[in-house]
Amino acid sequence: MKLARVGEIGRERPAIVDAQGHLRDLSDHIADIDGQTLSGDQLARLAALDPATLPMIENTVRIGSPIAPRGRIICIGLNYTDHAAEVGLPVPEEPTIFLKGCHPTGPNDPLRLPRDAGKTDWEVELGIVIGHGGLYIAPETAPDHIAGYCLLNDVSERSYQMDRGGQWTKGKSFPGFAPVGPWLVTPDEIPDPGALSIWLEVNGRRYQDGNTRNLVHGVAEIVSYVSQFYALEPGDLIATGTPAGVGLGQTPPVFLKPGDVVTFGIDGLGSQKIPVHAWDDVIG
């Protein structure tokens, strides 16, 4: 099952994707796709619906983040061996955790660079959406806590992250730095999240071309590990790390600038196409 949220910013409504790829309105069945919706019982009720009986949504509608912006974004850093190597850092023995302090945005919304941006970078990642929370989750039961998976870009301003105090969260929390979606895809459609192709291009040039089989710490391990330190809650989003090919790792480094277009995707989770703008640009 593929779930989405569509409509103007702040006025999104829930939707399901039918077998033909059309959006169908879920507003008569749920208010939003959030922590309350993501429990196992609620998802089972939605899965039992016949999408063909639901109102169709016009295909020109804006696609928002597939989860409401009320949970946390918990990130795992340096979780691909090739990415750690390209930025010259050792692979952590335990998962490295940090938070993004911004809210998810839509998968095709414009990315507006900070006014003093000089090193804005990309990081395509597999996202885990928590459906059933908890502390001290065992690795073997971790899949029972997952509502689904999604695509996201852990956008990073490296000058904030590396040149101004060396603090990761500061470099990753500017508004718009977490485009998510287009869908939340339930685990029945992603039987092996550890074997998905993952890629990213800037202006048609492919920079990242990897596979989640190269994750240092896998999905179940990550959920279990994070739950040793955080009380996970329904609606939380865990970003699992990025493969090699970030802008910082190029020779010389390459960073985003106004006019660029970033496209990226993961098998089964859809793709995004994001135009890059200066902060003061008038958009739309």
CB 66 within 8 A of CB 181: yes
| Least confidently predicted of 84-88, 184-188, 194-198, 252-256 | 84-88
What's the average model confidence in pLDDT over 98-116?
96
pLDDT at 283 over 80: no
CA gap 277, 119 in Å, rounded? 14
Question: pLDDT value at position 185?
Answer: 98
pLDDT digits (tens, 9 = 90+) for 32-87: 999 989 987 899 999 999 999 999 999 889 999 999 998 999 999 989 988 878 87
Answer whether residue 282 is part of any domain.
Answer: no
Q: Model-level pTM?
A: 0.96
- Tell me the CATH number at 91: 3.90.850.10
Structural domains counted in the chain: 1
Token digits of residue 141: 């039961």
CA gap 272, 4 in Å, rounded? 14
What's the average model confidence in pLDDT over 164-168?
80
Answer whether residue 13 is part of any domain.
Answer: no
pLDDT at 93 over 80: yes
**pLDDT level of residue 164 (50, 70, 90 thresholds):** confident
In the block, tokens 């609620």 appear at 42
Eight-class DSSP state of 84: H
Q: Please, what is the average pLDDT of the chain?
A: 95
Question: pLDDT value at position 52?
Answer: 94
Q: Could you give the 3-state DSSP secondary structure of residue 22? A: coil
- What is the residue range of 224's domain? 67-277
pLDDT at 138 over 80: yes
Higher pLDDT: 267 or 87? It is 267
Token digits of residue 201: 């291009």
What's the average model confidence in pLDDT over 148-155?
98
Answer whether residue 95 is part of any domain.
Answer: yes
Question: pLDDT value at position 155?
Answer: 98
Answer whether residue 284 is part of any domain.
Answer: no
Answer whether residue 114 is part of any domain.
Answer: yes
What's the average model confidence in pLDDT over 93-108?
95
Higher pLDDT: 284 or 76? It is 76
Element (H or E) spanning 112, and its range? strand 111-112
pLDDT digits (tens, 9 = 90+) for 212-245: 999 999 999 999 999 999 999 999 999 999 999 9
CB 130 within 8 A of CB 71: yes
Eight-class DSSP state of 78: S
Question: pLDDT value at position 284?
Answer: 63
Question: pLDDT value at position 90?
Answer: 85
Answer whether residue 148 is part of any domain.
Answer: yes
Give the rounded percent of residues in the chain with a pLDDT score beyond 90.
87
Concatenated DSSP letters of 25-63: E-TTT-S-SSTTTTSHHHHHHHHTS-GGGSPB--TTSPB
Answer whether residue 107 is part of any domain.
Answer: yes
Eight-class DSSP state of 100: E
Answer whether residue 12 is part of any domain.
Answer: no
